[in-house]
């Protein structure tokens, strides 16, 4: 069981969720189940679009997540194909509560034995918004007690608790008067794609894969358009883009929590996975349609990006990687495209032509304007003054969270150079 947090602050899989509105019984889908996918704050709309694309019915878009419904295949597909979700949860029970004992009763009424048995290990997490309860730790205990007592009453045995590597994760989420119990279908969070294998390959401050995918979605990039990241580090943004271009589902090289559940439909899952594998083969031809290019000043980062790309199933030539200072970064071809990047913060930018950090960022701005003329540039940063430092005026800004750090994705449009513009029509 995990330690709960103080009521009033959302925690656990909800990150800093602030408005999950789910009062009343869950809407009943035509056939199947109700789910909730969590995501980094600011990426709810692209997540909803992903879920619609796999055939889910989106029921509500709220802070840090999306409620959706569909049959069992939809739950599996969301885990396999969502690049932006952090977790996919199955909604099991919902009810009014006033105190901890109501949570206990809600937990004892839920048919857990349909999903797991007493031999499996369990972890319970609780999070809440405006809950009147004084201790979420105690609420967590009461939910756990309810689950365990139901098993003991029926079988004489109870699941044991494992907070490190549980086979089953249960989440309780409480609003002021309404509590909902969820079963986690994902297991390890979905941003763990399975290709960032060893600790050495994490690079300096790598982005979580689902945040990188969210930046790409917000940039509007699609395969067929060049993409560049001049601070690519371990290659997270480039690899997400490379997998999109090659049609590689993000969950193809990992396992999921639902595979251990008693009601798991192995034949259905095998079919959905096989479809995803076929899409990779079909996508391989498209993969090299436009360059996906990255550079970084650190040769170890470039080596990590290369190894990560290989483990992520990308062809050796899928990414054009180069070790160079940002001042030497060049567009990967004549066609304009999209830069998506998260540069180092403030003074961690190491420029050969040093000077003050502000002057250094001014240099970066000049390189972007000169070398990426006609491109769109999206920069994730926690520095609200970055556009001023770059000497560029943003066209868009989207608030986002990189873990607990409040960031913005600034979007710039760089004018095409004059000589690239069409010649003016001759005067009549
Ligand atoms: C925040 S990290 C990028 C992490 C990357 N998005 C990832 O997921 O791994 C910033 C990167 O900028 C690189 N960097 C710092 N100064 C640089 C410079 N002057 N030119 C190019 N890259 C630089 C660092 O080596 C680091 O890999």
Centre of ligand 1 to C-alpha 324, Å, is 11
What is the number of other CB atoms lying within 10 angstroms of the CB of residue 370?
Answer: 12
- pLDDT band at residue 403 under the 50/70/90 scheme: confident
| pLDDT mean across residues, the chain | 88
Q: Is 175 helix (H, G, I), strand (E, B) or coil?
A: coil
Out of 8-17, 77-86, 181-190, 231-240, least confident range:
8-17
pLDDT at position 15: 34
Neighbours of 153 (CB within 10 A): 10
Mean pLDDT for the stretch of residues 148-152:
98
For position 416, what pLDDT does the model report? 87
Residue bearing the CA closest to ligand 1, atom 1: 344
How confident is residue 417, by pLDDT bands cut at 50, 70 and 90?
Answer: confident
Radius of gyration (C-alpha) of the chain in whole angstroms? 24
Cβ contacts of 25 within 8 Å, gap of 6 or more: 94
Asked if pLDDT for residue 200 goes beyond 60, the answer is no
What pLDDT does 358 receive? 73
Nearest alpha carbon, ligand 1 atom 12: 231
Residue 413, beta-bridge partner list: 376
Rounded Cα–Cα distance for residues 411 and 295 (Å)? 20
Using CB distances shorter than 6 Å, the residues near ligand 1 are 203-207, 231, 233-234, 236-237, 296-298, 301, 325-326, 342-344, 349-351
pLDDT higher at 396 or 358? 396
pTM of structure: 0.89
Residue 426, pLDDT above cutoff 50: no
Ligand 1: nearest atom to the Cα of 305:
9
Report the side by side order of strands in the sheet with 376-381. 320-323, 292-296, 227-229, 338-341, 376-381, 405-413, 396-402
Write out the DSSP string of 104-115: HHHHHHS-GGGT
Q: Rounded CA gap, 221 and 183, in Å? A: 34
pLDDT, one tens digit per residue, over 158-175 is: 999 999 999 999 999 999
- 3-state DSSP: the chain helix, strand, coil percent, rounded to 5? 35, 20, 45
- Over residues 315-335, the pLDDT tens digits come to 999 999 999 999 999 999 999
Query: b/e map of 214-253 (b: 16 or more CB within 10 Å)?
Result: bbbbbbebebebbbbbbbbbbbbbbbbbbbbbbbbbbbbe
Ranking 130-139, 175-184, 412-421 by mean pLDDT, the lowest is 412-421
pLDDT for 199 equals: 56
pLDDT at 205: 76
CB 85 within 8 A of CB 190: yes
Q: Which residue has the tokens 């089953």?
A: 168
Quick one: pLDDT band at residue 3, thresholds 50, 70, 90?
Answer: very low
- Decide if pLDDT at 193 tops 60: yes
pLDDT of 280 above 80: yes
**Residue among 233, 348, 379 whose CB has most ligand 1 atoms within 8 A, to mutate:** 233
| Confidence (pLDDT) at 287 | 56
């Amino acid at each position: 069981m995990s330690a709960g947090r103080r009521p009033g602050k959302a925690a656990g899989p909800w990150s800093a969720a602030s408005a999950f509105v789910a009062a009343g019984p869950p809407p009943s889908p035509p056939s199947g189940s109700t789910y909730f996918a969590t995501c980094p704050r600011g990426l709810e709309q692209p997540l909803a679009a992903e879920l619609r694309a796999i055939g889910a019915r989106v029921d509500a878009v709220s802070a840090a997540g999306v409620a959706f419904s569909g049959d069992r295949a939809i739950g599996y597909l969301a885990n396999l194909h969502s690049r932006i979700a952090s977790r996919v949860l199955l909604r099991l029970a919902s009810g009014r509560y006033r105190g901890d004992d109501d949570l206990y009763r809600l937990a004892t009424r839920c048919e857990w034995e349909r999903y797991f048995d007493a031999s499996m290990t369990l972890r319970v997490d609780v999070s809440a918004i405006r809950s009147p309860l004084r201790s979420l730790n105690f609420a967590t205990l009461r939910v756990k007690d309810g689950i365990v007592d139901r098993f003991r009453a029926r079988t004489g045995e109870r699941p044991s608790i494992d907070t490190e590597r549980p086979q089953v994760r249960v989440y309780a989420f409480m609003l002021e008067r309404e509590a909902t119990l969820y079963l986690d279908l994902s297991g390890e969070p979905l941003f763990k794609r399975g290709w960032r294998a060893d600790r050495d390959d994490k690079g300096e401050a790598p982005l979580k894969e689902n945040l990188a995918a969210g930046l790409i979605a917000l940039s509007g990039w699609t395969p067929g358009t060049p993409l560049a990241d001049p601070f690519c580090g371990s290659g997270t943004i480039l690899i997400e883009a490379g997998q999109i271009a090659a049609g590689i589902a993000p969950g193809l090289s990992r396992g999921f929590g639902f595979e251990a559940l008693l009601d798991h439909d192995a034949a259905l899952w095998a079919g959905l996975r096989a479809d995803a594998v076929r899409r990779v083969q079909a996508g391989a031809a498209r993969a090299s349609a436009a360059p996906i290019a990255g550079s970084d000043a650190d040769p170890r980062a470039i080596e990590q990006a290369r190894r990560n790309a290989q483990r992520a199933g990308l062809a050796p030539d899928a990414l054009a990687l180069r070790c160079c200072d940002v001042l030497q970064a060049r567009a990967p071809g004549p066609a304009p495209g999209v830069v998506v990047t998260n540069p180092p913060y403030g003074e961690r930018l190491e420029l050969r032509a040093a000077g003050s950090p502000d002057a250094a960022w001014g240099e970066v701005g000049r390189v972007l304007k000169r070398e990426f003329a006609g491109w769109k540039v999206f920069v994730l940063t926690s520095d609200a003054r970055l556009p001023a430092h770059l000497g560029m005026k943003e066209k868009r800004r989207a608030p986002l969270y990189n873990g607990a750090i409040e960031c913005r994705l600034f979007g710039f449009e760089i004018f095409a150079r004059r000589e690239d513009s069409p010649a003016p029509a001759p005067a009549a």
